[in-house]
Structures are given as C-alpha cells and as structure tokens.
Amino acid sequence: MERVTIDDLAARLGLSRASVSYALNGRPGVAEETRIRVLELARELGWQPSVSARSLSRSRADAIGIVLNRRPEDLGSEPFYMGLLSGIEAALSDAGTSLMVRFVPDGDSEAAVYRRWTAERRVDGVILTDLRLDDPRPSLLDDLSLPYLVHSGHLTERGWRFDNDQEATILVDHLAALGHARIAHISGPTDLLHEVERREAVVSGAEQHGMRASTFAGDYSLEGGHELTARLLGRRDAPTAIIYSNDLMAVGGLTALREAGRTDIAVVSWDDSLLCRTAWPGISALQRDPYHAGRSTATQLLARVRRPGDPPVGVVPPKPSELVVRDSSHPPR
C-alpha cells in the first residue's frame, strides 16, 4: 500500500496543501472545523510524516539554512534583516553550527534549494522568513522531513512572531493623540501575512479613534516609499500623517515630502534604525529587536534538531516594542 501524502489528504478534502499542513502541525491559519476534518481523515487513512530523510543517516550536518527571496545587493540596505541574521549567526556560532545563506529570485528557486539541501544532507533545519498567504513552503518542508521554524515575531511552536496588533495600536494611538484624522499606511507586499495583519490592525485602530485610514502596498524600497508618497500628495484627500512599514520607505517618503515642500505631514516608521535616527527631521519609529528574535529562533530550532520531541527550550522574551518619538511626529499643520 502506497504511503498517504499531504497531497492525498488535500485532494480528498478539497483543500490546499498548505491548509492541510497547517492543520496537521497545529499551526494557525485554518478554522478549527477544518483542522478536525483533516486530523480525522489523516487518522482514518493512516497518514504518517515521511521518515525517509531521518532514516538516511543519524549524523548531523551541523548547519542551519536560510533562503532569502531577494537580491543579495539589497540586504545591506535592510537594517532589520542585518539584525536578524546577526542574531541567528550568534546563536549558531555559540553552538558550533554553521549558517548557510542562499539568495533566490523566486519561490520555485527557493523550493529547489530545500530539495537539494535535503538530498545532499547539507543542513539540519531551516528558518523561514516572510510567510505568505497560502505559503507552500511549510508543507514542502514537512514532506521533506526537514525541521524548520518560521520567523516573523514572538516565539510560538513554529517560530517567532511580532505582535502586529500591539505595534499598530502604538503607532495609531500616537497619531490620534496628536490630533490626526486622516492617515495612510504604506505597507510591504500584499501577499505577506504580517503585512495583512498590519493593514487590518491599522484600519481597525483608526476606526476606534474615528480616524480615516487608507492603505497602499509598497515594496520596502527607498524608491517605492518615495514614489507612493509623491502620488499621495496629489490626492484631494491627502493624509495628514503616514505610517511606513519599514525604515527605507519612510526615508524615501520623507524625501518626497521635503522635495514637495510639505512639512505639514507627519511620518512614522514601523522599524527603527540608524536611517531614522540620522534623517532630517528624525523619524519617529518603533524600536524592535530583530537580533534577539533571530538569536531565539535559531536557539529554538537547534533544540528541535538535536532533541526532537522535547518541550520547547526556554528563551528570554524581548522587550515589548516601544515608539521612539522624533521630530517627524507633529500635530496636523
């Protein structure tokens, strides 16, 4: 009898592979009723995780992998990812484990890297970033029996996840206290799960204050922040304050405002960095801790690889995100 796969379960239930994988692994993203249906069918058909990768060898590669779907030349301009990778590398170095980093242009190339790493036993586990809607990577890694953790914030069973609701509340409350009634949120790509959460939280928070919020999708780049901000200025209902989902877009937006002579629009950034501190005027921004998150994610993944089945290891929680107020924050003018 052939082994039942995640694809078999998905076909029987009329669900995506990602949804079935989420249900089998106790991850958020599926309704409880759906989770029950998946688990019941899995038991009925005798589904078991693949053990082929585990049976190939008991030896370890003493390496953890991370695949970044971006251009290598862009990494140096993204302080958040530099902090994240520094934290991961610090934890792995302490444990005598190497970090393998690969840059790829698209999702198919990323999947090919995971398959090659598994076939060649190059890594013991991987860290995922930028989880997307209906993301195929978790189910692929489950099928490959390659341990993984997802990085996007506070530590959960499957990774580290920032509290986007709490952070949006901090930013929106700040602008409401200054008297703003029309705000805009320039986010990252619309298919990223954390950006979906951010957009929804900003709009919800604004409604609670009786504010009007509009959202626009950017690409995290300096140029993207500049272009979208310039477009916003041409609108009849231009906002009096703009929230940017990262520091690069905030700096680009601030440049567009300065070029247009618009000192009346307040600017805040979801990420703090040297760019925000040295911009003129200084940009109000959330202080987060990507280094700590990276270090904790790597520590948790190492424990899973070396002691499978053990309870999650304890990690020191980071300080809650805090808003550093600078001159870019001001009441409507």
- The C-alpha atoms of residue 280 and residue 272 are separated, in whole angstroms, by 14
Q: How confident is the model at residue 1 (pLDDT cuts 50, 70, 90)?
A: low
- The C-alpha atoms of residue 152 and residue 59 are separated, in whole angstroms, by 30
Higher per-residue confidence, 38 vs 64: 64
Q: Which of 47-51, 128-132, 251-255, 324-328 has the lowest mean pLDDT?
A: 47-51
Higher per-residue confidence, 308 vs 233: 233
Q: Which of 120-134, 148-162, 275-289, 296-310 has the lowest mean pLDDT?
A: 148-162
Report the pLDDT value the prediction gives residue 316, as an integer from 0 to 100: 52
Report the pLDDT value the prediction gives residue 108, as an integer from 0 to 100: 93
* CA neighbor of 270 nearest in space, from 240, 225, 228: 225
Q: Which of 187-196, 223-232, 257-266 has the lowest mean pLDDT?
A: 187-196
Q: What is the pLDDT of residues 231-258, one digit of tens each?
A: 999 888 899 999 999 999 999 999 999 9
Q: What is the pLDDT of residues 92-143, one digit of tens each?
A: 998 889 999 999 999 999 999 999 999 988 999 999 988 888 889 989 999 9
Structure tokens at 194: 């954390």
The per-residue pLDDT of the chain, averaged, comes to: 87
Report the pLDDT value the prediction gives residue 136, as an integer from 0 to 100: 92
Q: Which of 124-133, 196-205, 292-301, 317-326 has the lowest mean pLDDT?
A: 317-326
Q: Hey, what domains does the chain have and what are their CATH numbers?
A: 6-45 (no CATH), 56-162+291-306 (3.40.50.2300), 164-287 (3.40.50.2300)
- The 3-class SS string of the chain reads CCCCCHHHHHHHHCCCHHHHHHHHCCCCCCCHHHHHHHHHHHHHHCCCCCCHHHHHCCCCCCEEEEEECCCHHHHCCCHHHHHHHHHHHHHHHHCCCEEEEEECCCHHHHHHHHHHHHHCCCCCEEEEECCECCCCHHHHHHHHCCCEEEEEEEEECCEEECCHHHHHHHHHHHHHHCCCCEEEEEECCCCEHHHHHHHHHHHHHHHHCCCEEEEEECCCCHHHHHHHHHHHHCCCCCCCEEEECCHHHHHHHHHHHHHCCCCCCEEEECCCCHHHHHCCCCCEEEECCHHHHHHHHHHHHHHHHHCCCCCCCCCCCCCCCEEECCCCCCCCC
- The C-alpha atoms of residue 136 and residue 107 are separated, in whole angstroms, by 9
Side chain identity, residue 2 = E
Report the pLDDT value the prediction gives residue 241, as an integer from 0 to 100: 98
Q: How confident is the model at residue 70 (pLDDT cuts 50, 70, 90)?
A: confident
Q: Name, in order, each residue with C-beta under 8 angstroms of 240's C-beta and a sequence gap of 6 or more.
A: 180, 181, 182, 183, 264, 265, 266, 332
- The C-alpha atoms of residue 301 and residue 251 are separated, in whole angstroms, by 35
Predicted model pTM: 0.76
Q: What is the pLDDT of residues 139-192, one digit of tens each?
A: 999 999 999 988 764 444 455 567 889 999 999 999 999 999 999 999 999 999
